[in-house]
Chain A
Amino acid sequence: MNIWTIMTYELRRLFRSRSMLLNMFLLPMVLIFLLGASLSGVVGVKSATKIEPVRVAVVNPAGEGQSAMIAAFVKLPEIQKVIVPQDVESRQAAESGLRTGKYGYAVIVPDGFDREVQQGGKAQLEFILGKNHTDNLAAGTAFDNFLSTVNYKQAAVAALGPQAMAVEASSSENHEAVKLGDLNNGGRTYTASQFYAASMLLMFLLYSGMTVTNSLFSEKDNHTLHRINSMPVKASELFIGKMLGVGIVSIIQCLAIILLSDWLFGVYWGNRPGLLLLFCLLMIIASMTLSIVVSLFSKTAASARSIISVVTVCMTFISGGMAPLPDSWVNTIGAFTINHWVLQAIVRMMLHSELSQLAPNLLMISVICLVMLCGAIFSYWKVGYHE
């Protein structure tokens, strides 16, 4: 019964703090909006599936050096779904057209391209990018595929002889020339809004540790801990009651971020709401237990808050929460952060990944929680909670 009383009054006190309400509910929404809007251009687009054909300036030399292969390639029907080839006489004309927006992309075919390829040389083209990223991506992918195919055939013939060409020709099928989206996830992709909604959710759940610190130290600062310790209340009841109060506030914060970001910005959180909440719950437990350890061993609230702030920001950055990190040692360290495992899992859920892809993340965050919980229990047993 004491646990219930302490929990309800903890909730009452927390919800009366305006600064806490602003930090917990308003700030995440503002950040999701700002980051999502500034980094994706449009908030709430779930996936881009349509490709507009790109006007491509093709500079194919005249005379003997002209490439018949390129001329034939750009006339293929599946390629013309992606690009609208425009024969251009010179590089200058192509560059001029790119500047004025007449063309979205340009390809410079080297003199004697076909001859070079037939002699076993590497197929190479020069590309000049236009102003639009998607156009560059679509046209570039089409020509990259062409070069890859040519070079692949060159390598096959060189290694296996002319019969390799026949086998390759029978096995090849007509595929869509360019497909937009993450082809590893059934064509689904995630937007900047989705990514930063997930990242901010986790960062603020990690910040819920700060609420733990404030809650634990406020009893000391108010000297109410001294009074409660003189009452017929077990120390464990007080501690559990307070942590339940903070935990409930964090769960409410988590639900608010998910629902409000969905409602206001159209952020799609995936097809597994139950699993999403389970991951968030584990994240809250990990963050709270981390803060319990820090708070119990810190002498002042200020030092505990500083440690938790630094840990939160570092973990968010290293886990790739501020911006997806390239493959490097930083990315490797990210695997040692709490956010990493939950962020990856949430992104995968947004992409409708199979349960088998989520299981390692669930296992990992569960292990982290278990270790942190043991750490928190040990800290409480060692240090206790008193003035």
Chain B
Amino acid sequence: MAFAVLSDVVKRYDQKLTVDHVNFSIQEGEIFGLLGPNGAGKSTTISMICGLLKADGGDIVIDGLSVLSKPLEVKKRIGLVPQELALYENMTATENVSFFGKLYGLRGKLLKERVEEALAFTGLSDRAKDKPSTFSGGMKRRLNIACAIMHRPKLIIMDEPTVGIDPQSRNHILESVKALNKLGSTVIYTSHYMEEVAAICDRVAIMDKGHIIACGTEHELRERVAHEEKIVVKASHITPALIQELKQHPRISRVELNEDTVELYLPSSQSELQDILFIFAKHEGVIASLNIEEPDLETLFLSLTGRTLRD
């Protein structure tokens, strides 16, 4: 039985549909990724799951309880790691976690244990008595997570938790997500970083303009674009005429120029490689390297929407 079910969920701002009849379900114990560019409707969907926003249509059921009819009961089962840091700068790390723990109904010895546990889990035990104003960006992100997990929620929702942090802290957070999942929590993880979602999620839903445009395991999603491949050519002396001729090639569906790198999307076939090399030679483009990449979620998104995730 699914742990979370979204059925025909709709959200409008003024007359614009921000979330347009979204349907998906999440199984208990899985890490579910919600991938999409900025403005796709991920945060709005998350806000409706958490009961922060009321859906204009459809229903959201978490652990058998409707968010619409039992919002407080649902909220007890959820731990939200918001996209923005949500901390009190003039309270210590312990006080921050403890305050939010009390609001989840934890008291006394249990609260103390859970606070220590959450700080230890996020690697902040030695900074427990320090205020977040003295923390690095990565440490603040970890404290942000500690404040959401101390009550051991059944469902942890992480809304872009790695925005603007260093690679080391990012890895720590991704490992934490996996560890929390192993401890029994179901996780919804939203991001516009395709690599993160691919690395940790069991299943992924891709959102664009308020719609779920694809949903499945990474393998299933890759299968949908298995017939496409991306050729990345690093070269010098790339002229507009060269790009123009590449775009006019009947088999190349899309050409992306990024400084000295040209990305070419085309149906998988080795036969066009000769053509590409010929066009570069014709326009005196000097190739430094050429890679044929496997289709990934980025490729799928591009294939479905004609845009990249970071557009």
- Pick the contact of A227: B82, B89, B90 (CB < 8 A): B82
- Pick the contact of A12: B78, B85, B91, B105 (CB < 8 A): B91
Contact with A along B106-144 (1 / 0, CB 8 A): 000000000000000000000000000000000000000
- In whole angstroms, how far apart are the Cα atoms of A226 and B148 in the complex? 12
Q: Taking the nearest CB of chain A, how far is it from the CB of B93, in angstroms?
A: 14
- In whole angstroms, how far apart are the Cα atoms of A386 and B91 in the complex? 22
Whether, in the assembled complex, B24 has its beta carbon less than 8 Å from a beta carbon of chain A, the answer is: no
- Pick the contact of B52: A2, A13, A230 (CB < 8 A): A230
What's the interface size class on A, roughly?
20 to 34
Whether, in the assembled complex, B193 has its beta carbon less than 8 Å from a beta carbon of chain A, the answer is: no
Residues of B within 8 A of A226 (CB): 52, 82, 84, 86
Given A227-B80, A232-B105: A13 in contact with B86 (beta carbons within 8 A): no
Q: Taking the nearest CB of chain A, how far is it from the CB of B121, in angstroms?
A: 18
- In whole angstroms, how far apart are the Cα atoms of A229 and B52 in the complex? 6
- Which parts of B66-119 form the interface with A (CB within 8 Å)? 72-73, 75-76, 78, 80, 82, 84-91, 95, 99-100, 102-105
Whether, in the assembled complex, A92 has its beta carbon less than 8 Å from a beta carbon of chain B, the answer is: no
- Pick the contact of B104: A222, A223, A231, A234 (CB < 8 A): A231
> Is A232 within 8 A of B104, CB to CB?
yes
Residues of B within 8 A of A232 (CB): 72-73, 75-76, 103-105
Closest to A386 in B: B52
Q: Taking the nearest CB of chain A, how far is it from the CB of B159, in angstroms?
A: 10
Residues of A within 8 A of B88 (CB): 13, 222, 224
- In whole angstroms, how far apart are the Cα atoms of A222 and B90 in the complex? 11
Closest to A234 in B: B72
> Is B91 within 8 A of A233, CB to CB?
no
- Which parts of A213-241 form the interface with B (CB within 8 Å)? 222-224, 226-234
Q: Taking the nearest CB of chain B, how far is it from the CB of A181, in angstroms?
A: 51
> Is A227 within 8 A of B105, CB to CB?
no
Q: Taking the nearest CB of chain A, how far is it from the CB of B136, in angstroms?
A: 18
> Is A233 within 8 A of B103, CB to CB?
yes
- In whole angstroms, how far apart are the Cα atoms of A224 and B84 in the complex? 9
Residues of A within 8 A of B50 (CB): 230
Given A230-B51, A230-B78, A232-B75: A224 in contact with B87 (beta carbons within 8 A): yes
- Pick the contact of A231: B75, B85, B87, B89 (CB < 8 A): B75
> Is A5 within 8 A of B84, CB to CB?
no
> Is B86 within 8 A of A224, CB to CB?
yes
Whether, in the assembled complex, A9 has its beta carbon less than 8 Å from a beta carbon of chain B, the answer is: yes
Residues of B within 8 A of A17 (CB): 90
Contact with A along B37-74 (1 / 0, CB 8 A): 00000000000001110000000000000000000110
Whether, in the assembled complex, A16 has its beta carbon less than 8 Å from a beta carbon of chain B, the answer is: yes
Residues of B within 8 A of A230 (CB): 50-52, 75, 78, 80, 82
- Pick the contact of B147: A5, A13, A227 (CB < 8 A): A227
> Is B82 within 8 A of A231, CB to CB?
no
> Is A5 within 8 A of B102, CB to CB?
yes
- Pick the contact of B85: A6, A9, A223, A233 (CB < 8 A): A223
- Pick the contact of B103: A5, A12, A16, A222 (CB < 8 A): A5
Which 5 A-B pairs rank lowest in CB-CB distance, beginning with the nearest? A227-B86, A223-B84, A230-B80, A230-B50, A223-B86
Given contacts A13-B90, A231-B75, 17 further A-B contacts (CB under 8 A): A5-B103, A222-B88, A223-B82, A223-B85, A226-B84, A227-B100, A228-B100, A229-B52, A230-B50, A230-B82, A231-B100, A232-B72, A232-B76, A232-B104, A232-B105, A233-B103, A386-B52
